[in-house]
């Protein structure tokens, strides 16, 4: 048995701890036929299993409400209502009266219901299949005497490694950082939602392990190394010591980097770089502000929608934005409007798409659903009263999208005026350059926007036609591909010529070799995860723009991404020597 599993490093850090295995899947149920005289007892057994499931759900709901908020917890109220459904009880009990054991009776009814929902014409219904599946698993686990696996049950302070197939929204809201110290998933890539979330929470994570949930068992000990993407099961004491030693070294490196948090990010040849932080959740704004970041380069707003049962209203959004803006006391906060597809909306009524990354999403969806978009715009205009709010539009491919958005922004402003609500007019409106189309028409866009921000993840995905969520394509997802570098360079040149700020806000900018490349391509503003701010600052202070430009020029004309990386990495190492924070493979994947 191979005791070391290799996955994709998703969030750095080393954790030694017990495995908390969350095998959230419907168990197999064997058919069991009851004797007539055990029917009443079996009905009682079913009812008490439902009661126990409801108790557990109420506990999960309360703790999710405490960790995540009331809206996020509402999903569990829906599951409780499903368990209280009288039709459900009647159907199951009628099967039990026909001599079927409770677990089989429940299984049959839930399979029927899930199929009816899964094949329903309305997407609103299809989205509820997840709740039915959760209920199905929970009650069967109780009836079959299987272990309960809710992540909220992990005692505080146990520093467990959560091992699961994928981190679903209903699992995410249960994450208690005082209990879970690291995450390992079968699915996912470096840029998947789970990886981004783990990095922003500062939780070490390894994703793309493929079969970790099968190869580990609950309570086993493991070492997770988020920097190299390894998971060692039941390590020997010697192995643990090796990892401990590395963890100490990493902690020392980090502490040393943090010393420079207040230093100015200036290159050795005197060029000032602006470093901002990416923020996923309002709660992260205070640690982000303390990281030494000079504002927020990208605040994602998907947290307002994903995993929720209803759209957030203007007031809730306003409070969320205001919280971030106030944490940064007057420094710029760039807020990106919804970057989601119709399938993520709690509204329902939209078809699932075969190709969502090329589908009806982001600015396209927002412009078509202008009422929904204007709620967000009004909240942004109001948040503008509390600091320097800038609005960024995702997935723009034509200048018309900017013009339409500006019209809606004007409408949102007059609606607020009519209501007599305070807001700031004239907020800077910029675009996310994340498609080859936007990069190619940067000159046209530059005439109508206040800033550009390059989203590297999507720019790589759309330029190279590589799905960033596909585990089998992870090696082909190469941000240093010369095609990508040339699009970045073009955008920077055109933007600067028009007098615009051009930032890079993708996660990639937090990798030393990428930060080096971007500065060489002329980028002067980087936005990275808060945790990475000190590292990037250290890189900036150790390089010269002259060296970076020379390296980037070589990379622009390299044969391929690997060649480009060699060109950049060689020069970066020359500047830093073999500093351990550079890592072994500089790109970390």
Partner 1 sequence: MVERSVHVINKNGLHARPAAEIVKAAAKFRSDITIVRDDLEVNGKSIMGVMMLAAEYGSELLLRADGADEQDAVTAIAKLIESKFGES
Binding-site ranges for partner 1 (CB under 8 A): 74-75, 77-78, 81-82, 84-88, 113, 116-117, 120-122, 124-125, 128, 131, 309-311, 313-315, 346-349, 371
HSE-up (13 A, CA, CB side) for residue 424: 16
Catalytic position from the list 67, 366, 505, 538: 505
Burial class (CB within 10 angstroms; exposed 0-12, middle 13-18, buried 19+) of 310: exposed
- State the nearest-atom distance from the C-beta of 131 to partner 1, in Å: 7
Identify which of residues 349 and 354 has a Cβ nearer to partner 1 in the complex: 349
Q: What are phi and psi of 154, to 5 degrees?
A: -70, 125
Identify which of residues 47 and 406 has a Cβ nearer to partner 1 in the complex: 47
- State the nearest-atom distance from the C-beta of 68 to partner 1, in Å: 16
CA gap 138, 198 in Å, rounded: 26
Residue 331's alpha-carbon distances to 64, 208, 379, 431, in angstroms, are: 32, 37, 19, 19
Catalytic (active site) residue 366:
no
The SS3 of residue 304 is helix
Identify which of residues 408 and 432 has a Cβ nearer to partner 1 in the complex: 408
Q: Which long-range contacts (CB under 8 A, 24 or more apart) does 436-444 make?
A: 436/462, 436/463, 436/487, 437/397, 437/398, 438/396, 438/397, 438/491, 439/487, 439/488, 439/490, 439/491, 440/487, 440/490, 441/398, 441/399, 442/490, 442/491, 442/494, 442/495, 443/494, 443/498, 444/399
Catalytic position from the list 193, 221, 260, 496: 193
How many CB atoms neighbour CB 586 within 10 A?
A: 18
- State the nearest-atom distance from the C-beta of 316 to partner 1, in Å: 10
- State the nearest-atom distance from the C-beta of 80 to partner 1, in Å: 8
CA gap 243, 222 in Å, rounded: 11
- State the nearest-atom distance from the C-beta of 440 to partner 1, in Å: 37
Contact 215, 232 (CB under 8 A): no
Contact 255, 225 (CB under 8 A): no
Spatial strand order of the sheet with 230-233 comes to: 4-6, 230-233, 221-225, 14-22, 160-164, 180-185, 205-207, 8-11
- State the nearest-atom distance from the C-beta of 442 to partner 1, in Å: 37
Q: Which helix (H) or strand (E) holds 575?
A: helix 561-576
Identify which of residues 88 and 231 has a Cβ nearer to partner 1 in the complex: 88
- State the nearest-atom distance from the C-beta of 73 to partner 1, in Å: 11
HSE-up (13 A, CA, CB side) for residue 298: 31
The SS3 of residue 526 is strand
Catalytic (active site) residue 193:
yes
Identify which of residues 80 and 240 has a Cβ nearer to partner 1 in the complex: 80
Which residue numbers are catalytic?
A: 193, 505
């Amino acid at each position: 048995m191979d005791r070391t599993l290799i996955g994709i490093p998703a969030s750095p850090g080393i954790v030694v701890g017990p495995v908390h295995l969350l095998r959230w899947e419907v168990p197999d149920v064997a058919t069991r036929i009851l004797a007539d005289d055990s029917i009443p007892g079996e009905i009682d057994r079913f009812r008490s299993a439902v009661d126990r499931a409801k108790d557990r759900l109420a506990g999960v709901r309360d703790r999710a409400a405490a960790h995540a908020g009331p809206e996020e917890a509402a999903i569990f109220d829906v599951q409780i209502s499903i368990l209280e459904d009288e039709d459900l009880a009647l159907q199951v009990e009628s099967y039990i009266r026909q001599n079927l054991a409770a677990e089989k009776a429940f299984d049959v009814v839930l399979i029927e219901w899930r199929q009816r929902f899964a094949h329903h014409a309305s997407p609103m219904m299809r989205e509820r299949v997840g709740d039915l599946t959760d209920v199905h698993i929970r009650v069967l686990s109780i009836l079959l005497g299987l272990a309960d696996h809710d992540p909220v049950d992990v005692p505080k302070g146990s520093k467990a490694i959560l091992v699961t197939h994928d981190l679903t929204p209903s699992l995410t809201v249960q994450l208690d950082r005082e209990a879970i110290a690291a995450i390992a998933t079968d699915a996912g890539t470096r840029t998947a939602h789970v990886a981004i979330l783990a990095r922003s929470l500062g939780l070490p994570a390894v994703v793309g392990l493929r079969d970790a949930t099968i190869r580990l068992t609950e309570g086993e000990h493991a070492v997770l190394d988020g920097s190299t993407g390894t998971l060692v099961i039941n390590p020997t004491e010697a192995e643990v010591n090796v990892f401990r030693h590395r963890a100490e070294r990493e902690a020392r490196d980090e502490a040393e980097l943090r010393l420079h948090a207040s230093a100015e990010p200036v290159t050795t040849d005197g060029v000032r770089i602006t470093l901002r932080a990416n923020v996923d959740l309002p709660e992260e704004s205070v640690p982000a502000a303390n990281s030494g970041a000079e504002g927020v380069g990208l605040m994602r707003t998907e947290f307002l929608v994903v995993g929720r049962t209803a759209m957030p209203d203007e007031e809730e959004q306003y409070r969320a934005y205001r919280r971030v803006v106030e944490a940064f006391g007057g420094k710029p906060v760039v807020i990106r409007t919804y970057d989601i597809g119709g399938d993520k909306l709690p509204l329902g009524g939209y078809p699932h798409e075969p190709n969502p990354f090329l589908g009806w999403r982001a600015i396209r969806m927002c412009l078509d659903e202008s009422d929904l978009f204007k709620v967000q715009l009004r909240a942004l205009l109001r948040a503008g009263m509390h600091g320097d709010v800038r609005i960024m539009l995702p997935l723009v491919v034509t200048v018309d999208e900017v013009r339409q958005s500006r019209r809606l922004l004007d409408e949102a402003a007059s609606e607020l005026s009519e209501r007599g609500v305070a807001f700031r007019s004239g907020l800077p409106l910029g675009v996310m350059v994340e498609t080859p189309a936007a990069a190619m028409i940067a000159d046209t866009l530059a005439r109508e926007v206040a800033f550009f921000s390059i989203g590297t993840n999507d720019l790589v995905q759309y330029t190279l036609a590589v799905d960033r969520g596909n585990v089998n394509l992870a090696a082909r997802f190469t941000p240093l591909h010369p095609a990508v570098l040339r699009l970045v360079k073009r955008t920077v040149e055109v933007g600067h010529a028009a007098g615009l700020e051009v930032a890079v806000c993708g996660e990639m900018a937090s990798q030393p070799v990428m930060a080096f490349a971007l500065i060489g391509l002329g980028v002067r503003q980087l936005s990275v995860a808060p945790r990475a701010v000190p590292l990037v600052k250290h890189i900036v202070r150790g390089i010269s723009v002259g060296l970076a430009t020379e390296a980037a020029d070589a990379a622009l004309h390299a044969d391929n991404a690997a060649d480009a990386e060699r060109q950049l990495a060689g020069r970066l190492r020359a500047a830093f020597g073999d500093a351990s924070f550079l890592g072994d493979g500089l790109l970390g994947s």
